[in-house]
Structure 1
Amino acid sequence: MPKVKVITDPEVIKLMLEDTRRKILALLRNREMTISQLSEILGKTPQTVYHHIEKLKEAGLVEVKRTEMKGNLVEKYYGRTADAFYINLYLGDEELRYFARSRLKTKLDIFKALGYEFNDEELLNVMDRLLKKEHEFKTEISKEIEANEDKLKDFSNEDIIHAIEWLAMAKMGRDEESIELLKKLGELLKK
């Protein structure tokens, strides 16, 4: 199973962001599970869980890993198709852009609760542009990691994800626009 899978299709990203599917993917990160196991943990009917599993299968995010006979029944165990999925919310799809921006607005509320004062729209625009640059770099790096899976098999998923973050920071440190945006962020977000 690949360590990292880059998801670039906006429709697949939207499918992943649905609450129940997001929870299913999180549960399957740790182990393979059956519909009935997922149903019990999620508090959803097996039919509902099956529907979401099928959507995730169609999108190439989940697959049947093994089957076991339980009496006359065949139980399917589902698992993820990659240890980690990297999604980019800045792919030009308006719905995803709105979602990314609304997540940033929550951060502004946190900053205000901590006593920071700023122009909401100005700070939001800087953060939005900075995050877009970061996502561009992380997508590029994740694709490189995907292409070099065999060289990384001895490293943990967590270490690989941290490496992606560090490599993205290094790229941002060499990118003039990113540097200017970081300076602007520093000017806007201070007490």
Structure 2
Amino acid sequence: MTTFRNFFAAAALTTVVAATPAMATTTVTGAIRFGANSTNYFDNSHGYVPAGYANATSSAVDASYGSGFGFEDAANTNTATFFNNALTIKDVSSQMGASSFVMSFTADAAGFFDHAVISYDTFGGSLSLVGNTLTYSAPATGLAGTRMVTIMFQGISAVPEAGTWVLMLTGFGAIAVAMRRQRRSAAPSVRVAFA
């Protein structure tokens, strides 16, 4: 009975490990482009990344909780932050006539942005997902102020990677061997003696 309990506990744990979003181990490359400008201002080499943002050394970040991209100039601050399987994009404009912008995010893990959906949006923008790249396009506005969008996504899909399959099968094999040994040791031994 104990072995069966251990078997199901191990199976449940393996399933949870296989299905958990690997946010901290997923690298996302981000880009922000304004209007018709092709420059990626999330790339720190252009000098527009404010202190404290994860893209302070490149245009890629680990998509861990609270990690994100930042852009800042004299008139505008744009941020994109990952938290709890959501991406929150925020634009703070101190001047009238903010231009349109496009933010795109490419994950190095397949399925990271699966089932992405806008749950809150004051931009009135549009969302698209092609392969591992999520793109949000925001229209221009004639007003100063703060705009924000929250995009919810599933994270890593529940289909385990090859390494997880190996680990899972090895665990099931070990449990099967333990159950077989226990069954053998529990079998009654019968001795027949003739006088």
**Shorter-chain TM-score tier:** under 0.3
Q: Which has the higher helix share?
A: 1
Q: TM-score, normalised to structure 1's length?
A: 0.25
Q: TM-score, normalised to structure 2's length?
A: 0.25
Bigger RCO (CA 8 Å, 6+ sep):
1
Q: Which has the higher strand share?
A: 2
